[in-house]
Structure 1
Amino acid sequence: MIEEATPDVSGFTTFCDDIRFEVDGKVTMVGCYHGEMTINGGFPSTLAKFAMSIIFTQKRELFEPVLKLHVFLPGDPENEPGIVVDVDSQIDITKTDRPRIGARANLVLSPLTINAPGVIKVRIARQGRYHNVGSLIVAESSSTEPPPRS
């Protein structure tokens, strides 16, 4: 089998209800979504808390230390993200021999209002180009029954 080369830049996002940082350095992600979030009760919908853990890596020889994280919520115009975050890796690459350099951003939004069904899109802006690091479909529940109570 032929193995594909690793892209120059790559990344991914884990979408969840909360991110918790433990004393021993571990990270716990609570209520992870698998490709789709279903909203019960219609739009707009306000979530008490919503989180994203974003990982982005670059080849060492192409390393760009300052990036922008753009999050587009359903209904945002194509060129106007609802959330923009500066990501500064703060890594001195002269002190590491790793072939890839990574950056991590954990966003916990509380509260978050989603105005319409659609897609939450996470992009890294790097050297004038967007890199897709995650998408989550936001759909309205087709059920007319209220969600179960525990």
Structure 2
Amino acid sequence: MVNNAYGVTIFCDDLRTESTGKHIYIGVYEDGMVVEENFPITLPTFIFAIRLLEPIKEKGRSVNIKVIFDKDGDESVIIDSDLPDDRWNVLDRPDFDKGSEFIGSVFIVKVSPLVIDSEGYLRVRAFRGDQVVKLGSMSIKSRSRLGFTEARA
């Protein structure tokens, strides 16, 4: 059984939210980003859809989310944000499953524009006191460096 916080990030180009609250992810990156042109590149929008699950027994613990660009170990922080404490209010809702051991929160972060200067990795981390929760990582590689000479169909 998992006793620590955990989560995942969806990396995509854009997002739409329906009136029912459902999200439509557009241009989801599954195996990383392959860049067709020379660096730097500018993406008009980029979405980090971050889902964090936290143990209820740790209610009230503060969380800081960072998105880091890692270029060969040289890291720069793109996003640095504390999560709101009101995420715990879900425990007071009558429809909350009282048998659950975790609460789940989704945080949508839109960066517009996102400038990428070189190959590297986008890494999403949650810092909960001395605990670092790895929430996702996406590689960014040049097509020419990967050995592709023609565009794929």
> Considering the TM-score relative to the shorter chain, is it more than 0.5?
yes
CA distance in 1, matches of 2:29, 2:64: 24
Rounded to whole Å, the distance in 2 between the matches of 1:141 and 1:132 is 27
Query: What aligned pairs does 1:89-100 form with structure 2 within 5 A after superposition?
Result: 89-90=85-86, 91-92=88-89, 95=92, 96=96, 97=98, 98-100=100-102
Residue identity (%): 27
Give the match for residue 134 of structure 1: 136
Looking at structure 1, the residues matched to 8 and 38 of structure 2 have their Cα atoms a distance apart, in angstroms, of 28
1:92 alignment partner AA: N
Moved over 6 A (4+): none
Are positions 1:84 and 2:80 aligned together? yes
CA deviation vs aligned residue, 1:55-81 (integer Å, no higher than 9, x gap):
001111123453111001243844x52
Change in Cα spacing, 1:6 to 1:23, as seen in structure 2 (3 Å) is: same
Equivalent of residue 19 in structure 2, options 11, 16, 23: 23
Q: Match for residue 103 of structure 2?
A: 101
Q: Which moved more, 1:97-106 or 1:47-56?
A: 97-106
Q: TM-score, normalised by structure 2?
A: 0.82
Q: How high is the TM-score relative to the length of structure 1?
A: 0.83
Equivalent-residue separation in structure 2 for 1:137 and 1:35 (angstroms): 8
Partner residue of 1:58? Answer: 54
Give distance in 2, aligned partners of 1:31 and 1:94: 33
What is the aligned length? Answer: 143
Aligned to 1:70, the other structure's residue is in SS state: strand
CA distance in 2 between partners of 1:61 and 1:89 (Å) = 15
SS for the counterpart of 2:57 is: helix
The Cα offsets for residues 72-128 of structure 1, whole Å up to 9 and x where unpaired, read as 1243844x5221122115123652523211221101111100111011000001113
Structure 1: runs of 5 or more not aligned: none
